[in-house]
Structure 1
Amino acid sequence: VENVYALASANSVNKSVLFGNKKLKVQDLSEFDFSKADIALFSAGASVSSVYAPKAGNSGCVVIDNTSFFRREEDIPLVVPEVNPEQLKNFKPRNIIANPNCSTIQMLVALAPIHREATISRINVATYQSVSGAGQQGIDELSKQTTSLFNFQELKPKVFSKDIAFNVIPQIDQFQDNGYTKEEMKMIWETQKILDKNILVNPTC
């Protein structure tokens, strides 16, 4: 790796981040010339990827996007290297490769070899995911509620729909019209795109 550029919004310009033993000065994403880079890793949310990933791709830079924005696009490969590496070659129309949801990746790495030997027709899956998926505010709420519980204080959920201390909530993201949450629908859509469009998936996240 010859050069690494750390990019963020204008609010973070001139701050520094570590890359190995090096400190990188953060540059303004909106002003960056992507023709200087061969590969761009996007993980700043769908709203950022929707604007800047196409700009990077049009500049000749290959984008690996970690958000959900491009996952259902027919002309953008959705790739788990251990499962469907052959799809990597299909990035050229838009220079973008989409990265699946973390839960989908773990599940398909385990199930793909089974599916190749004995075709899977249906998957029933339950995931138990960390509050950190909701960001720092999710971590803070768990910490505060745990402390409050041990001190016999009232719990007041703000980030999650129910109390989260010593609890699991079968809801990640918003409920859709079909009764599944958006997180659950990601597992359905992504499994069918990556592994087999005929597989039925019944997830609880």
Structure 2
Amino acid sequence: MTDTRAGVALARRLLSPLPLLPLNRFLVHFSRHLTRRHPAVIRRLEPVTGKRFLITATDLGLSFVMETGPGSVSVTAVRREHVAADVRVRGSFMALLHLLEGQLDGDALFFSRDISVEGDTEALLTLRNALDSEDIDLRSEIVTLFGPFAGLVDRLATEAVGTWARLLHTGHAFGLAPGERVGR
């Protein structure tokens, strides 16, 4: 098992008992924030108003239901995949994140079978084109939500990611001896 897979497995174990309400409240706030900051993306989604997208992070056991409305987008986290949807996209959390941020090509991920897609492909292409139309950096978008505390939150997030990476590398997060690597 690679360090990344071990980290995702640990994240899944940590997330599974937690209630989704705080995450869903954050997603409502974040969706509104993105709608205000990137109105061109929302306008590009008008042809798919009323469509429902189910995006499943297979390694986290978590799905996100994205619904397009007139001038808005809403996102809700759910723990099940059996939700009515016009489009279904499945893949690892990191593949989906990189796809969303435009760091990886969706076609390459699809043909390498890192993601799977089913349903209304025209709606999916409209979503993809809308997201590709603007450079959206999720980390900076999240940090800006904290207003005057954005700098502090950014530093704390950077430190947390660094600590997480060190724990994965040393094995402390898994009860391993120092220097013993995860997956050996």
Provide TM-score, normalisation by structure 2. 0.28
Larger Rg: 1
Q: Using CA pairs under 8 Å that are at least 6 residues apart, name the structure with larger relative contact order, 1 or 2.
A: 2
Provide TM-score, normalisation by structure 1. 0.26
Task: Considering fraction of residues, name the structure with more helix.
Answer: 2
